[in-house]
Structure 1
Amino acid sequence: MKNLRLLFLLTFIHLLGYSQSSKTVTIGILADKSSEETKPLLAKLQNEIKAVVGQSATIVFKEVLENGFNNELAKSNYQTLVNSNADIILVFGVVNTIMIDEVDEYSKPIILFGSANSDFYDFDEDQKTSTVNNINYLIAPFSYTDDLDVFKSLYNYKKVGIIIDDFLPGILPVKNLFNNYFSKNGGSYTLIPLQKDGSITSDLNDIDAVYLAGGFYLNDNEFKTLVTTINSKKLPSFSVYSKEDVEKGILASNQPETNIDQFFRRIALNVEAIIEGTNASTLPIYLNYKKKLSINYNTAKQIGFPLRYSMLAKADFIGGENDVKVGTSYSIIDIMKGVVAKNLSLDVERKNIELSSQDVKTAKSSYLPNITANGNGVYLDPKVAEISNGTNPEFSTSGNVTLEQVIYSEGAGANITINENLQKAQKETYNAAELDALLNASVAYFNALVLKTNVAIQNQNLQVTKKNLEIADQNFAAGESGKSDVLRFRSQLAQNTQSLINAENQKLQAFNTINQLMNNPIATEIDIDDAKISEGIFENYKYQDFLEILDDPKLRPALVKFLVEEGNKNAPELKNIGYNMEATQRNYRLNNLGRFVPVVALQGQYNLAISQSGKGTIVPEGFPNAPDGTYNVGVNLSLPIFQQNQRNINRQTAKIQEDQLLIQKENVELSIEKNVNDILLDMTNQIANIEISKVSEETAKESLDLTQNAYAQGAVPLIQLIDAQTNYLQAQLARATANYDYLLTSMQLERAIGYFFLMNTEANNQDFIQRANQYILNNN
């Protein structure tokens, strides 16, 4: 009884001590090392503790004591706090963890959150607390061996390089752990010491994968250098730490986003419990959260890591800071210029221009001389040769050169003019094809952008489904919902995964179209730059300024009229008709009065007797010798009188063709006017869609968040959450599509007026804008 009273008295005194000091509680902190990145975390932890403890105590934090990974200094720092006025000691870091583990008794309450993972804790499966007086371990589900299992399932490595802090093998049995693991699971490993400055001594040449088991204290630049080194070797990598490492360029991790809020809240609650008199030995030691595999798809592309569709359901795919473009990333200007330079269809049209140039050369060649050289060898009957008196020898060879030169021909001149106009018309046919190709390039670019955005949105939607499935699992475990909700979301997960696969394949098909337009090998890996209204190359595509004109009943008609006039002036189709009209009219004149103009030609011939032999070569006396060479020159005039009525028929045909061209010209002008009006109406609709889609997406997102919270609390049924998710997905797609549709319609307007701003100089564009402004002012 006396002992019982003594125990009660001691407990009362112990509790009284806390009660009397409740107004001021001093907390000491031990750390291995701090950095610029960890200082904000320390402030966050301190604020969390103060917030949780509230008015029950005034919290005072002592200066953080660091050991710099030195075990002796760690012991000294700990003893300093034990001997100080610190009421509670918070301990962080693997060196401090080892040091604390070697202490026999703890005279002050300690909360330990070390960096050593669960592989090195030998607790019974059912043990929930430390059971050691005055100490509370906080153990997160970090495990080297579990990570290596997941990494192996992701990539079947043969020899993995394990990057680990250089001081760690000296204080933890990591070699024994890895030796035991690889002896049971196959494969091999090598330890790669990580220096304090983030450098490694290994060249990484004899390994096929990297497991990052250290580097927690690296700053951003040091970590980036390490990641760059790993990825430059095209090695798959896996991090022991959080999803943030994946966002910074590591290939994968099986940890979720940093649960720092959860960690700090648990520490703060445990501090509060100790202040209220709870012994640290009775506080829970495990921090449980669901692991989640994350993969950086940009890093995967960079190192050539094969991504399988089967990974989509179990992994989160993210881009992150290491957004390395694989292959060439094209802007819309790159694609448009590439199409003009290399598109095969345009190459065909260019060849047509060359062919028309050949027709012009052929027509002009009618005025070039036609020179013909002939050679003859003759054997004559000797009897005849003998009586020819030397004029026709038995054997003779001779040659002649004939010249024919057209001096004037109405038909030849007309043919030249006609073919020159047809060549110009062919150039305008090419110009129209080029404008169409530029529009097709724009369509391909924006279609690819829509599909690329769709991939990102479908991926986000997949993550929302995964979150909803987690909520459904939690509700089912808590008895707040039935198994049917879980099954419904699993079905939704499969559907969303298929949607993401389809979206990815559609995006790749769009990239194939761009490669085809640019005459790239279809398998070429490319990417495309994003396009934003009023930014970058689309800085002048300010729809608000455009809307003011379109919305003004006084300004809009003037704008339409100006654009129609510009379209008529620039349209290669109208220029093509104009040149064809000139060719037709020239053909009409040729077959009308031109048929009465004679053809004047010059003709000449030179004959040369080369050799004579045999009988008949001797000229009798008294007969003159014939000259060896003779020539003749003449002028020829020809005038066709009647050519089977072909001239009249040709004249009538030319008149019909002229009428046809006039009808085509009127039709093209009407089409330009219609297209301009229709496109401007479309742009008005799309401007409204842009503004509406913004509000719609924001509202849908807020509705989804509220519905998720309500579903987690059992306040709304499953179908309402699915509807909210579907609405948000559609709102996201609508907003992205609205922006791209506006820019694409702008390109269609530019095609309608025959002027692409992105393919002209800034000076030309400003001149166009000034002319438009002046025209609108003059017509109002």
Structure 2
Amino acid sequence: MKHITLLLCIVFSMVFGYAQTNKTVTIGVLTDKSTARTQVLFQQMKKEITAVIGQDVTVRFKQPLENQFNFPEAKKNYEKMVAGDADIILAFGVVNNLVINKIKQYAKPTILFGSVNSDFTDFPKEQKTSEIPNITYLITPFSYTKDLEAFHSLYEYDHVGIIVDEFLPEILPLQSLFDTHFSDKEATYSLLPIKEGKLNPSSLNEVDAVYLISGFYLQETQFGELVTTINKNKIPSFSANSIADVERGILATNQPETNIDRFFRRIALNVESIISGVNPSDLPIFVDYKNKLTVNYRTADEIGFPMRYSMLSSVDFVEGSQEIHPGPNQKSYTITDILNGVVEKNLSLEAARKEVALSEQDVKLAKSNFLPNVVASASGAYVDPELAKVSNGQRPELSTSANIGLEQVIYSEGANANIKIQKNLQKAQQEVYNAEELDAILNASASYFNALILKTNVRIQNQNLQVTKKNLQIAQQNFETGASGKSDVLRLQSQLAQNTQSLINAGNSLQQAFNAINQLMNNPMSTKIDVMDAGIANGIFKNYRYEEFQEILDSPQLRPAFIEFLIEEAKTNSPELKNLGYNLDATQINYKLNNLGRLIPTVALQGNYNITFSRSGEGASPPTGFPMLPDNYYNIGLNISLPIFQRNERNINKQIAKIQEDQLLIQKDNITLDLDKRLNDMVLNVINQIANIEISKEAERTAEESLSLSQNAYK
């Protein structure tokens, strides 16, 4: 009984003790305006605060109060929050900061953050806290003027347009700040206001660069329209907000990737300190981080921004997720675009099509042997007068005449055979073209996928470079704090140089792949192109059901039948075999012609019509008693010819045809055997590639996990 009583006492004391230590803290949030983007950040901040506070304290967040950029409303919201049950007040936004800063005494712990720009603060450098009871600030190294300097180092603009919310110049001394900054600069500036979520496109006509210091409260579609307008005008852009703007299409920013996480962590730590009893006036007000230039290289390519190799080691690059709008000299190709372009415009195929056209003319030339051959001629003659006298009027001294001759082949075994031969040769030439077209399509497909591989390699090399930069930053921090020696810093600096060179090589290889595509499509080498990603289960590839192919190839029982099917299809559709077949038919026709065909005669019709225009001089008139020759007369004849012996040419041609037939049959067997081998090799290669892909997926997953563990351990 005593043991049970003791156990109950322990349980009740634990429950009672937990109830004493677990308390509820209510946090109120003030914001200028709530948007989808601020709501996401608010949820991220809530999650961070809850994680830092732990389970000993229950944190309750009140619904954020908005002022819609109205000063009286902002003051009213703050007073409502003070009068309510909020234990801690988090205030975000320009208007809230300006309103709350004017208050002399603070009844509740308040944290101001999000819009306290170092350009507008006058805290002494040695001051580390607010020194005002119940209030603290979070001041970052963020600065409009430093951003403009970083932007100018990236792009030497002459006149920059600074995009601001319409209300912002009325509540912040922006005009004074920028006038002072540009007073000793050659460049100038203009303020470009956003009105009702839109920027007047004509305002971009006078600027050669834009600096976005607003737009945080724009809707996603409005921000997308703004980015599209800027990039279509080929204007370099710079954001004061975050890398998220760069990922959505802005060219560059000077804000590091981790500043949001660090910012929320500091807010959470301040909240934890206040709950623990620390007065906000004793909390540090500066959030320190190093600025880092980040560039969207897809946007850079879209607007034609000059990228220098010297930037690789100091600038981070992201691909972004925005839709690219190619310019008049920029094209983005799918595999279908490339294949169609090669068939339509490739110069080698165009030359091959001319060969087909020439073979068609050979067929027409062979058929023309059965068309009539009409020849007209005119002549004038002068005959020795002495001879003319004794010619009895048959050959006058002077005469002019004309002749029209007709020759029509009625039947010729050689002409018939030649027509059949030329038709087969024309079909054979068409198959030669088909083979070249298939080769061109195969080369185009290989070039497309090669470009995709190299494009991915550029992305991988860029990721390697960024990881090395982060590791170098960690190593420098560890060295500065004495946690490690300088060897890691030196090793990573060397690795940084190697990664930079690898990225340059990868970029050049990608450009060479693009040059190969331009050549295949008969584009100028200066044409800027890109290739769109392809998914085996998407687009035109979806209809081919590659998953079923993979299952068949993976089955030892189904694979032989599948290979046999592929071989039969290849034999049926092979242009090389069809070409040999047509050449074989032509050779056999030639053999028959030189064998029994030589015994068949050639039948032709001939005719002439003669006209005498004039007779004069001696012998122009026949002597008395001799008839006068007619001025116009004709003759018609039928010609049948049969070659008896042509220097043994027929026998020799027959033997040549037989040898050619044997040669073609051997080539046919050789091509068939080669098809068998190539298809078997291709299937085995596909199986190898499938295995490599699966192994690579696993290796990637393992490497990712290993990298994460190594980086965490290193940190």
Give the TM-score taking structure 2 as reference length: 0.92
2:451 corresponds to which of 441, 448, 454: 448
Q: In the TM superposition, what is the alpha-carbon distance from 1:205 to its structure 2 partner?
A: 1.2
C-alpha spacing 1:600/1:541, structure 2 compared with 1 (3 Å): closer
Cross-structure match for 2:394? 391
Cross-structure match for 2:172? 172
Cross-structure match for 2:291? 291
Query: Which moves more between the two structures, 457-466 or 400-409?
Result: 400-409
C-alpha spacing 1:133/1:655, structure 2 compared with 1 (3 Å): same
Query: Which moves more between the two structures, 513-522 or 588-597?
Result: 588-597
2:534 alignment partner AA: A
Rounded Cα–Cα distance in structure 1 between residues aligned with 2:659 and 2:607: 42
Rounded Cα–Cα distance in structure 2 between residues aligned with 1:310 and 1:711: 29
2:359 alignment partner AA: S
Return 5+ residue gaps in structure 2 as ranges: 1-19
- Is the CA contact 1:192–1:202 (under 8 Å) kept in the aligned structure 2? no
Rounded Cα–Cα distance in structure 1 between residues aligned with 2:555 and 2:164: 68
Cross-structure match for 1:538? 541
1:593 corresponds to which of 551, 571, 596: 596
Cross-structure match for 2:441? 438
C-alpha spacing 1:58/1:670, structure 2 compared with 1 (3 Å): closer
C-alpha spacing 1:467/1:628, structure 2 compared with 1 (3 Å): same
Rounded Cα–Cα distance in structure 2 between residues aligned with 1:299 and 1:638: 80
- Is the CA contact 1:96–1:114 (under 8 Å) kept in the aligned structure 2? no
Q: SS at 2:624's partner residue? A: coil
Cross-structure match for 1:194? 194
Cross-structure match for 1:752? none
Rounded Cα–Cα distance in structure 1 between residues aligned with 2:53 and 2:80: 25
2:619 corresponds to 1:649: no
2:476 corresponds to 1:460: no
C-alpha spacing 1:550/1:193, structure 2 compared with 1 (3 Å): closer
Cross-structure match for 2:34? 34
2:313 corresponds to 1:310: no
Measured against aligned partners, the alpha-carbon deviations of 1:182-212 in whole angstroms (never above 9, x if no partner) come to 0123311111222353445862211111111
- Is the CA contact 2:232–2:325 (under 8 Å) kept in the aligned structure 1? no
Cross-structure match for 1:472? 475
Q: SS at 1:654's partner residue? A: helix
Q: In the TM superposition, what is the alpha-carbon distance from 1:666 to its structure 2 partner?
A: 0.6
C-alpha spacing 1:202/1:107, structure 2 compared with 1 (3 Å): farther
Q: In the TM superposition, what is the alpha-carbon distance from 1:21 to its structure 2 partner?
A: 11
Cross-structure match for 2:492? 489
Query: Which moves more between the two structures, 161-170 or 241-250?
Result: 161-170
Q: In the TM superposition, what is the alpha-carbon distance from 1:337 to its structure 2 partner?
A: 1.9
- Is the CA contact 1:299–1:323 (under 8 Å) kept in the aligned structure 2? no
Cross-structure match for 2:382? 379
- Is the CA contact 2:110–2:134 (under 8 Å) kept in the aligned structure 1? yes
2:686 corresponds to 1:706: no
1:244 alignment partner AA: A
Q: SS at 2:615's partner residue? A: strand
Cross-structure match for 2:501? 498
Measured against aligned partners, the alpha-carbon deviations of 1:69-88 in whole angstroms (never above 9, x if no partner) come to 22233233333334445443
- Is the CA contact 1:242–1:258 (under 8 Å) kept in the aligned structure 2? no
- Is the CA contact 1:462–1:496 (under 8 Å) kept in the aligned structure 2? yes
Q: SS at 2:184's partner residue? A: helix
1:520 alignment partner AA: N
Cross-structure match for 2:10? none
- Is the CA contact 1:67–1:74 (under 8 Å) kept in the aligned structure 2? yes
C-alpha spacing 1:363/1:39, structure 2 compared with 1 (3 Å): closer
Q: SS at 1:278's partner residue? A: coil
- Is the CA contact 1:159–1:189 (under 8 Å) kept in the aligned structure 2? yes
2:163 alignment partner AA: I
Q: SS at 2:99's partner residue? A: helix
Rounded Cα–Cα distance in structure 2 between residues aligned with 1:208 and 1:331: 33
2:443 alignment partner AA: N
Rounded Cα–Cα distance in structure 2 between residues aligned with 1:562 and 1:26: 73
Q: In the TM superposition, what is the alpha-carbon distance from 1:292 to its structure 2 partner?
A: 1.7
Cross-structure match for 2:98? 98
Give the TM-score taking structure 1 as reference length: 0.85
C-alpha spacing 1:434/1:209, structure 2 compared with 1 (3 Å): same
Rounded Cα–Cα distance in structure 2 between residues aligned with 1:64 and 1:376: 112
Write out aligned runs for 1:576-725 (5 A).
576-712=579-715
C-alpha spacing 1:627/1:494, structure 2 compared with 1 (3 Å): same
- Is the CA contact 1:244–1:258 (under 8 Å) kept in the aligned structure 2? no
Q: SS at 1:616's partner residue? A: coil
Rounded Cα–Cα distance in structure 2 between residues aligned with 1:415 and 1:611: 45
C-alpha spacing 1:621/1:180, structure 2 compared with 1 (3 Å): same
2:297 alignment partner AA: Y
- Is the CA contact 1:325–1:527 (under 8 Å) kept in the aligned structure 2? no
C-alpha spacing 1:114/1:649, structure 2 compared with 1 (3 Å): closer
Q: SS at 1:399's partner residue? A: strand
2:159 corresponds to 1:159: yes
1:412 corresponds to which of 415, 428, 432: 415
C-alpha spacing 1:289/1:643, structure 2 compared with 1 (3 Å): same
Rounded Cα–Cα distance in structure 2 between residues aligned with 1:480 and 1:513: 51
Q: In the TM superposition, what is the alpha-carbon distance from 1:276 to its structure 2 partner?
A: 2.5
Q: SS at 2:205's partner residue? A: coil
Rounded Cα–Cα distance in structure 2 between residues aligned with 1:473 and 1:497: 19
C-alpha spacing 1:638/1:50, structure 2 compared with 1 (3 Å): closer
2:354 corresponds to 1:354: no
- Is the CA contact 1:298–1:323 (under 8 Å) kept in the aligned structure 2? no
Rounded Cα–Cα distance in structure 2 between residues aligned with 1:434 and 1:162: 54
Q: SS at 2:614's partner residue? A: strand
Cross-structure match for 2:11? none
- Is the CA contact 2:370–2:408 (under 8 Å) kept in the aligned structure 1? yes
- Is the CA contact 2:116–2:138 (under 8 Å) kept in the aligned structure 1? no
Return 5+ residue gaps in structure 1 as ranges: 1-19, 713-780
C-alpha spacing 1:85/1:666, structure 2 compared with 1 (3 Å): closer
Cross-structure match for 1:527? 530
Query: Which moves more between the two structures, 79-88 or 109-118?
Result: 79-88
Rounded Cα–Cα distance in structure 2 between residues aligned with 1:575 and 1:559: 23
Q: SS at 2:655's partner residue? A: helix
Measured against aligned partners, the alpha-carbon deviations of 1:539-567 in whole angstroms (never above 9, x if no partner) come to 24545422433344443332222221211
Rounded Cα–Cα distance in structure 1 between residues aligned with 2:234 and 2:139: 34
Rounded Cα–Cα distance in structure 1 between residues aligned with 2:592 and 2:50: 101
1:343 alignment partner AA: N
- Is the CA contact 1:292–1:315 (under 8 Å) kept in the aligned structure 2? yes
- Is the CA contact 1:29–1:90 (under 8 Å) kept in the aligned structure 2? yes
Write out aligned runs for 1:496-575 (5 A).
496-575=499-578
1:329 corresponds to which of 302, 327, 332: 332
1:369 alignment partner AA: P
Q: In the TM superposition, what is the alpha-carbon distance from 1:22 to its structure 2 partner?
A: 8.8
Rounded Cα–Cα distance in structure 1 between residues aligned with 2:21 and 2:217: 36
Rounded Cα–Cα distance in structure 1 between residues aligned with 2:54 and 2:374: 113
Measured against aligned partners, the alpha-carbon deviations of 1:410-463 in whole angstroms (never above 9, x if no partner) come to 222222222121111111111111111111111111111111111111111111
C-alpha spacing 1:199/1:375, structure 2 compared with 1 (3 Å): closer
Query: Which moves more between the two structures, 339-348 or 638-647?
Result: 638-647
Cross-structure match for 1:235? 235
2:32 alignment partner AA: D
2:293 alignment partner AA: L
Q: In the TM superposition, what is the alpha-carbon distance from 1:685 to its structure 2 partner?
A: 1.7
Q: SS at 1:682's partner residue? A: helix
Measured against aligned partners, the alpha-carbon deviations of 1:317-363 in whole angstroms (never above 9, x if no partner) come to 21222130532222222222221222111111111111112222222
Rounded Cα–Cα distance in structure 2 between residues aligned with 1:59 and 1:447: 54
- Is the CA contact 1:209–1:236 (under 8 Å) kept in the aligned structure 2? yes
Q: In the TM superposition, what is the alpha-carbon distance from 1:387 to its structure 2 partner?
A: 4.1
Rounded Cα–Cα distance in structure 2 between residues aligned with 1:407 and 1:54: 108
1:340 alignment partner AA: V
- Share of identical aligned residues, percent? 62
Q: SS at 2:261's partner residue? A: helix
Rounded Cα–Cα distance in structure 1 between residues aligned with 2:584 and 2:203: 74
- Is the CA contact 1:359–1:419 (under 8 Å) kept in the aligned structure 2? yes
C-alpha spacing 1:547/1:86, structure 2 compared with 1 (3 Å): closer
- Is the CA contact 1:198–1:215 (under 8 Å) kept in the aligned structure 2? no
Measured against aligned partners, the alpha-carbon deviations of 1:480-502 in whole angstroms (never above 9, x if no partner) come to 22112111111111111111111
